[in-house]
């Protein structure tokens, strides 16, 4: 495990350092979750089209305080559940047919979930083949830790419906948001709810909005013990109870367009920005050339490497470190706040390895490397070992830093 931890970086565990799978490391409250009971045994089944034997399996759970909705996973966030499991024979006595096409066998292991876990978390499995290449596979499963341990602590972040909402009228919209506790105050909940004569009373629209809030982020109502129940009869008595300390909320009115009709035309999304970047280079993409027919637009971005808020007219970030020229996409969805229509846009851009130190050129297959050779790969510098081990540096299967393999370590040393 120490070798694997040295290869796979914090914040890139679920994607196993692979920039093409970087979205697997992205914290969000919207991953599908399975309820797991704290303090109780959990059965994990590994289904494969080619179950490798012999092999080893390590199981981890995220520690208290980690929140998969807002935090990128680090090795220090994990606790190992029991000792490694040795797999020698794959099972084939299916009781429930697998959904995976071509599955030929499975393994099972049972691990007890620690007490005291609650809310959003992860179960991480690391499956290691017993072969010379040291190939391994990482899985991350989003879970909701419930019961059996310390009750989930809720944090009152204020009254749900504030006094400013008394001027609400048909044609307006209620804009309700919950922000994370990170420096960027990322929006975890962003709801725009249209108001008509039919749902104008707070008893109606308040419940309609509360029902849209993900309970893994916040629960809305009145707290009694550890249970939050929404008060339908008196909606102004409800409060918002966040599952994490430091969350905040905002509720405001988006004014309607008045007596004139809303233009039904959809908006048009446009992206401007760089089409070629180097690893580690900062970037800015803009959606300000997007157009709509009914006032200001709402923006939602998805760009690999972006940092900060995702809902501005522009976003910034830093290009991923890549070992070779890689194509990514910047994606934008704009929404007309009045007619509710949306339009997507995307812009492809390439990222090439940084030129870096000329003493450490990019590793290439069949490079003729031997003792003392210096290269860079996957954003890390390496030096070929001295002595007989140096002969292995010229073999392509010993590519330094190769994801999923530790075999290269017999030939190369990492240069700090």
pLDDT digits (tens, 9 = 90+) for 347-381: 999 988 876 556 788 888 988 999 999 998 887 89
| Residue 230, number of CB atoms within 10 A of its CB | 16
Q: Indicate the fold that domain 276-352 takes in CATH.
A: Immunoglobulin-like (2.60.40)
3-state class (DSSP) for residue 79:
strand
CA 200/CA 217 separation, integer angstroms: 26
Q: Indicate the fold that domain 2-146 takes in CATH.
A: Coagulation Factor XIII; Chain A, domain 1 (2.70.50)
| Residue 368, number of CB atoms within 10 A of its CB | 8
Angle at 150 between CA 79 and CA 181, to 5 degrees: 70
Q: For 195-200, what is the mean pLDDT?
A: 86
CA 44/CA 81 separation, integer angstroms: 12
CA 353/CA 386 separation, integer angstroms: 27
pLDDT digits (tens, 9 = 90+) for 121-167: 999 999 988 877 778 899 999 999 887 544 567 899 999 998 888 88
- pLDDT interval class at 260 (50, 70, 90): low
Write the CB contacts of 220 (distance below 8 Å, at least 6 apart in sequence).
160, 210, 213, 228, 230, 238, 239, 240, 241
**Mean per-residue pLDDT of the chain:** 88
The answer to whether residues 406 and 134 touch, using CB atoms and an 8 Å cutoff, is yes
CA 236/CA 409 separation, integer angstroms: 63
CATH entry, 155-254, from 3.30.70.2150, 3.40.50.300, 1.10.10.10, 3.20.20.70: 3.30.70.2150
Q: In a 10 Å sphere around its CB, with 0-12 CB exposed, 13-18 middle and 19+ buried, how is residue 197 labelled?
A: exposed
pTM of the model: 0.40
| Residue 75, number of CB atoms within 10 A of its CB | 15
Angle at 29 between CA 25 and CA 32, to 5 degrees: 80
For residue 5, what is the enclosing H or E element? helix 2-7
* Alpha helical stretches, state H, 160-263: 202-210
| Residue 390, number of CB atoms within 10 A of its CB | 18
pLDDT digits (tens, 9 = 90+) for 165-194: 888 888 899 999 999 888 778 889 999 999
The answer to whether residues 61 and 78 touch, using CB atoms and an 8 Å cutoff, is yes
CA 292/CA 108 separation, integer angstroms: 54
Q: For 340-349, what is the mean pLDDT?
A: 94
The answer to whether residues 175 and 249 touch, using CB atoms and an 8 Å cutoff, is no
pLDDT of residue 150: 47
CA 319/CA 335 separation, integer angstroms: 27
pLDDT digits (tens, 9 = 90+) for 46-84: 887 777 778 889 999 999 889 998 899 999 999 999 888
3-state class (DSSP) for residue 178:
strand
Q: In a 10 Å sphere around its CB, with 0-12 CB exposed, 13-18 middle and 19+ buried, how is residue 72 labelled?
A: middle
**How is the chain split into domains, by residue range?**
2-146, 155-254, 276-352, 355-416
């Amino acid at each position: 495990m120490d070798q694997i931890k040295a290869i796979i970086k914090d914040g890139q565990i679920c994607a196993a350092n692979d920039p093409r799978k970087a979205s697997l490391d992205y914290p969000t409250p919207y991953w599908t979750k399975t309820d797991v009971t704290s303090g109780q045994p959990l059965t994990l089944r590994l289904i494969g089209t080619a179950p490798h034997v012999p092999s080893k399996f390590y199981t981890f759970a995220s520690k208290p305080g980690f929140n998969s909705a807002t935090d990128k996973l680090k090795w220090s966030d994990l606790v190992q559940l029991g000792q490694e499991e040795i797999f020698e024979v794959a099972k084939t006595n299916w009781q429930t047919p697998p959904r995976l096409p071509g599955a030929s066998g499975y393994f099972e292991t049972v691990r007890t979930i620690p007490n005291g876990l609650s809310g959003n978390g992860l179960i991480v499995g690391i499956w290691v083949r017993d072969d010379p290449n040291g190939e391994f596979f990482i899985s991350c499963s989003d879970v909701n830790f419930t019961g059996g341990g310390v009750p989930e602590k809720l944090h009152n972040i204020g009254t749900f419906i504030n006094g400013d909402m008394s001027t609400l009228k048909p044609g307006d919209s209620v804009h309700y948001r919950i922000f994370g506790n990170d420096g960027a105050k990322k929006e975890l909940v962003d709801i725009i709810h249209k108001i008509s004569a039919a749902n104008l009373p707070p008893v109606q629209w308040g419940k309609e909005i509360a029902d849209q809030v993900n309970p893994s982020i916040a629960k809305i109502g009145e707290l009694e013990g550890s249970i939050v129940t929404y008060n339908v009869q008196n909606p102004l008595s409800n409060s918002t109870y966040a599952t994490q300390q430091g969350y905040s909320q905002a509720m405001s009115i988006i004014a309607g367009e008045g007596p004139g009709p809303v233009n039904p035309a959809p908006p048009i999304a446009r992206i401007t920005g760089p089409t070629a970047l180097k690893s580690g280079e900062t970037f800015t993409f803009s959606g300000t050339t997007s157009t709509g027919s009914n006032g200001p637009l709402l923006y939602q971005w998805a760009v690999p490497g972006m940092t900060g808020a995702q809902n501005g007219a522009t976003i910034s970030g830093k290009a991923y470190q890549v070992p070779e020229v890689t194509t990514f996409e910047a994606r934008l969805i704009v929404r007309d706040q009045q007619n509710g229509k949306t339009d997507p846009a995307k812009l492809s851009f390439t990222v090439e390895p940084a030129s870096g130190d000329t003493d450490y050129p990019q590793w290439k297959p069949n490079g003729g490397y031997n003792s003392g050779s210096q290269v860079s790969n996957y954003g890390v510098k390496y030096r070929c070992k001295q002595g007989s081990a140096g002969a292995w540096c010229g073999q392509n299967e010993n590519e330094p830093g190769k994801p999923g393999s530790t075999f290269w370590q017999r030939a190369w040393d990492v240069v700090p």
